[in-house]
A and B are shown apart, each in its own frame.
Chain A
Amino acid sequence: MALAAELWSVAAYFALVVVAIATVRSKSNSSIVYSGTFAIGMFALSVASFALADGGRTGASIVLPLGLPWVGAHFQMDALTSFFLIIVNLGGAIASLFALGYGVHEKAPHRVVPFYPAFLAAMNLVPLAADAFTFLVSWEFMSLASWALVLAHHREADNARAAYVYLVMASFGTLALLLAFGVLAGADGGYSFDAIRANANLTPTMAATVLLLVLVGAGSKAGLVPLHVWLPLAHPAAPSHVSALMSGVMTKVAVYAFIRIIFDLVDSPEWWWAVVVLCLAGATTVLGVLYALMEHDLKRLLAYHTVENIGIIFIGLGLALAFRANGIAWASALALTAALFHVLNHSLFKSLLFFGAGAVLTATGERDMEHLGGLIHRMPQTAFAFLVGCAAISALPPFNGFVSEWMTFQAILLSPQLPQWGLRLIVPAVGALLALSAALAAACFVKAFGVSFLGRPRSAEAEHAKEVDAFSRVTMFVFAGLCLAAGVLPGLAIDALAPVVQDLIGARMPQQTSIDWLSIVPIAESRSSYNGLLVFIFITLSASSAAYAIHLFASNKVRRAPPWDCGFPDARPATQYGAGSFAQPIRRVYGTLVFRAREHVSMPPPGDMRAARIDVELRDLIWDTLYAPIAGLVGFAADRLNVLQFLTIRRYLSLVFILLVTLLLVLAIWP
């Protein structure tokens, strides 16, 4: 029943594509389409929520006569699918609501509006797919639809390059997934997920191959280092509501692919798989946030941050793998719940932050933080919602980012039980990297909010910014409220996730809603517990009682005066700290090693009137050591092989002749 409803909503999305193309000339094209996607998205969201609340054991599967004639298209809806459908449709619906206000400013709506429902349809299809063919077709469709959206403003040079890199990496990822499914299905075929689960021929070597292929395929779409290079190019290039979907939702679909294949289809993980996943995840976390700290483009900073949060999710998944490989099911349930909760949290606050960046872009036309500033006076509501997003992503209580990180730390603290030495050495290192990235993320968002919204305006556009329309503001406040709700009532989310974890691991975390005062207790009351509601109430009460006491006993006079300038008044806004200068101490500490950051200061000699100049040089070492050589190699090989284009007819015929003779020889010699 729920499955049929979801499939109908996918069909409705496709119908909307047709409507979009049909009404492309009309003025209210985008309003119609976005309202349509909002309605369909809310419907699909409620269906998926009911399915998950029901325990997700709909179990039904539908086979449609689409696609390959002897395979058909299998669809199934279990708890994992329902959860990810909630994520996809929540993001999609709210992004559509945002786009109702934001899309009015779109200069090329005919390049955005038809592809948007297609993108949403594909993202809905991927979790629903229950055989390899449907999965891969939907996956590729998702990549192509988002590629078209990235190319929406194709006249800008950066966007063309971004779309090209995205296409190459997406195709490469799909190739890896194709090979993975091929290995999983084995030589006898049987591409439906049920057949793959029943396949008993999976040797450990083959399973390890599947792991590596899935890490490459799903990991490149999610943004694991070193396959993340397309993400900071492509996510900022798309329009803001699409960026929110790509960062907040599409990366989660990739996480879904990883979980489905590794936790569901491949049954028995080895312990060293967790080492690989944890190493990659730890590197991703720290490198993502360090890249973000060096950025001054607001959307690119947010895209790099997505890389960091994917790293955090994969740390949880790696820990779940480690515990599961050793048979400690309840600890595995804790780690998996932490990872899934972070999936939800990240889609909430990353979408909120991208909406805020979109609002800033609409109001000022600028993405570069060095041209913003002082927006808290001109756009107070956007600033407030953005501040809530920054606090949530920096893992500050009582918001939701803190809860999922707290649960991940509790899972790390359980790890001394693991018997293998490799795990015992890598888990503390990963814990240190996680703590480091959390602190760096807070620094990064002080920079992002402080430089863009606080201080004095650094350009005329920032000075004349106006608050954005009501749709954008409402969506931002909805997500801000959800961030606070998820942080204050995490027990509800954990219990909602229990069926998912139960299906995958066979164990679940203890029932949270029956605990007094709505705390969460991951293992046992005596070990550790956290109560978001009480912390929130405490902070509010303390702040209010302080304010009340101040009001009663202290003076409440206020006087405005110029700021302290140490006797050197300079009204130019360039004297305040910008993005580059804020990050300078951190760049000096971490960047000299990780990015080979070097500063060159050239001071003019006395008497020379030119300005002093500071040059900062940063190198992307991953691009230099991995991608540039490969690109060079491919170019070299292509140049050499180009010779084959210009052979004479005699040469071509002799090529064919030699190949034929070789094949006959092989046939003769083969025993």
Chain B
Amino acid sequence: MPNLALDIAHLLAGGLVLVSFMMLYQDRLPALINVFALHAILLAASVAWQADIQNEPYLYVTAIIALGFKGFVIPMTLRRMIVRLGIHREIETVVGIGPAMLAGIGLVALSMVVMLRVTAEADPLAREDLAFALSVLLLGLLMMVTRRNAVGQVIGFMSLENGLILAATGAKGMPLVVEISVAFSILIAFIVIGIFLFRIRERFDTVDVQALDRFRGDQR
């Protein structure tokens, strides 16, 4: 098979885009967390494959960190958190699933066009993986925009982060120390957000951000 390495890298990156779409499709929180765990596992596999074909062993560490934190620790914590918050029921998205998927396709098309035009001279493997990574990033942003629940927005933020990691590994060479600091900053942000969520829930009995608008007096 010609260029097996290219094809498998594309497959894993494309799978990541597919799982981002699956996250857009979910409207129940427990399922969303499971799909996010799958997202992180696929990211780990993609980074590990890049480590293999680029011959950079320290990327394996990145893969293990992604797998460990985002594939297991964070989903488990989130699951317990939502049970304690009592919001493990249905989430309503701001726009319906159909328009969200259509917008997602538009974003993927946009990122393809941008990436492939801007990087016209670069290595084909890298530029197409970058195009996929930009798609994952934009889809994560779309998820943050179309979710009403704060936990859904946090998961959107995490998947955006996954897109960034995919971009960084695809671009051949990101020092390990940067990755460790990025991972720790994510962890700290996560803890802070968690604390805030609990405080919000204590004060206002809900984590629905539209309710927060109402309390702030911004509700129209």
Partner-B contacts on A (CB < 8 A): 421, 425, 593
Interface: B98 (CB within 8 A): yes
B94 at the interface (CB under 8 A from A): no
State whether B113 touches A425 (Cβ < 8 A): yes
User: Does the CB pair B98–A425 fall under 8 Å?
Assistant: no
Question: CB-CB contacts of B50-64 with A at 8 A, as 1s and 0s?
Answer: 000000000000000
Distance between B149 CB and nearest chain A CB, rounded to angstroms: 23
- Nearest-neighbour CB distance to chain B for A166, whole angstroms, equals 35
Please tell me if B220 contacts chain A, counting CB pairs below 8 Å: no
B99 touches A421 (CB 8 A): no
- The B111-128 residues at the A interface (CB cut-off 8 A) are 113, 117
In the complex, chain A residues whose CB is within 8 Å of the CB of B186: none
User: Whose C-beta in chain A lies nearest to the C-beta of B98?
Assistant: A593
Contact in complex: A421, B117 (CB < 8 Å): yes
Chain A contact residues, majority secondary structure: helix
Whether a CB of chain A sits under 8 angstroms from the CB of B73 is no
Q: Are B113 and A593 in contact (CB under 8 A)?
A: no
- Shortest beta-carbon distance, B99 to chain A, in Å? 7
Say yes or no: A593 contacts B109, CB within 8 Å. Answer: no
Would you list 6 pairs from A and B whose C-beta atoms are within 8 A, ordered by A residue? A421-B113, A421-B117, A425-B109, A425-B113, A593-B98, A593-B99
Give per-residue flags for B132-163: 1 if the beta carbon is below 8 A from chain A beta carbons, else 0.
00000000000000000000000000000000
Q: In the complex the two chains form, what is the Cα distance from A249 to B109 in whole Å?
A: 39
Which A residues are CB-close (under 8 A) to B96? 593
Residues of A within 8 A of B113 (CB): 421, 425
Measured between beta carbons, the chain A residues less than 8 angstroms from B99 are 593
- CB nearest to B95 among chain A residues: A593
Q: Which residues of A contact B98 (CB under 8 A)?
A: 593
Q: For residue A421, which residues in chain B have a CB less than 8 angstroms away from its CB?
A: 113, 117
Separation of A425 and B117 alpha carbons in the complex (Å): 13
- The answer for the CA separation of A421 and B111 in the assembled complex, in Å, is 12
Cβ distance A272 to chain B, nearest Cβ, rounded Å: 15
The list of the 4 closest CB pairs from A to B, nearest first, reads A425-B109, A421-B113, A425-B113, A421-B117
Alpha-carbon separation in the docked complex, A273 to B98 (Å): 30
Q: How far is the CA of A425 from the CA of B116 in the complex (A)?
A: 13
| Nearest chain B CB to A174 CB, angstrom units | 38
Question: Would you give the shortest CB distance from A588 to chain B, in whole angstroms?
Answer: 12
A425 to B98, CA, bound (A): 20
Q: Give the complex CA separation of A425 and B107 in angstroms.
A: 12
Residues of chain A within 8 A (CB-CB) of B109 are 425
Instruction: Please name the residue on chain A nearest to B116 by beta carbon.
Output: A421
Residues in B neighbouring A593, C-beta threshold 8 A: 96, 98-99
For B113, the closest partner residue in chain A by CB is A421
Interface 0/1 of B179-210, CB less than 8 Å to A? 00000000000000000000000000000000
The minimal Cβ–Cβ distance linking A124 to chain B, given in whole angstroms, is 45
> How far apart are B105's CB and chain A's nearest CB, in angstroms?
9
The CA of A593 and the CA of B113, in the complex, are separated in Å by: 28
Nearest CB of A to B146, in Å: 15
Whose C-beta in chain B lies nearest to the C-beta of A589?
Answer: B98
A234 to B3 alpha-carbon distance, docked (Å): 61
Interface residues of B in 51-98 (CB under 8 A from A): 96, 98
| A428 to B, closest residue via Cβ | B109
A287 to B98, CA, bound (A): 17
* Nearest chain A residue, comparing its CB with the CB of B109: A425
Q: How far, in whole Å, are A593 and B99 apart by their CA atoms in the complex?
A: 9
* Residues in chain A near residue B117, CB distance under 8 A: 421
| A425 to B113 Cα, complex, angstroms | 9
Q: With A and B bound together, what is the CA distance between A425 and B96 in angstroms? A: 24
Smallest CB–CB gap between B14 and chain A, Å?
16
Report how far A551 CA is from B109 CA in the complex, Å. Answer: 57
CB distance from A185 to the nearest CB of B (A): 39
A421 vs B109: C-alpha distance in the bound complex, in angstroms? 10
Q: How distant is A489 from chain B, measured CB to nearest CB, in Å?
A: 40
In the complex, residue of chain B having the shortest beta-carbon distance to the beta carbon of A424: B113
Q: Which residue of B lies closest to A421 (CB)?
A: B113
Q: How far is the CA of A578 from the CA of B185 in the complex (A)?
A: 61
For chain B residues 17-76, which have a beta carbon within 8 Å of chain A? none
CA distance A421 to B112 in the complex (A): 10
Nearest-neighbour CB distance to chain B for A560, whole angstroms, equals: 46
Shortest Cβ distance from A590 into B: residue: B98
When chains A and B are docked, how far (Å) is the Cα of A307 from the Cα of B126? Answer: 46
**A648–B122 CA distance with the chains assembled, in angstroms:** 77
- Complex Cα gap A593–B96 (Å): 10
Please report the C-alpha to C-alpha distance between residue A593 and residue B101 in the assembled complex, in whole angstroms.
Answer: 14
User: In whole angstroms, what is the CA distance A425 to B99 when docked?
Assistant: 18
**CA of A630 to CA of B119 in the docked complex: distance in angstroms?**
46
Task: Give the distance in Å from the alpha carbon of A421 to the alpha carbon of B117 in the complex.
Answer: 9
Enumerate chain B residues within 8 angstroms of A425, measured Cβ to Cβ.
109, 113
What's the nearest-Cβ distance from chain B to residue A616, in Å? Answer: 19
Give the complex CA separation of A593 and B98 in angstroms: 10
**Taking CB as reference atom, which chain A residue is nearest B96?**
A593
**How many angstroms between the C-alpha atoms of A421 and B115 in the bound complex?**
12
CA distance A425 to B111 in the complex (A): 12
Tell me how far the C-beta of A410 lies from the nearest C-beta in chain B, rounded to whole angstroms. 23
CB distance from B97 to the nearest CB of A (A): 11
Q: Report the minimum CB–CB distance from B95 to chain A (whole Å).
A: 10
Which residue on B lies nearest to A422, using beta carbons? B113
Q: How far is the CB of A589 from chain B (nearest CB, A)?
A: 8
> How long is the Cα–Cα vector from A355 to B117 in the complex, in angstroms?
54
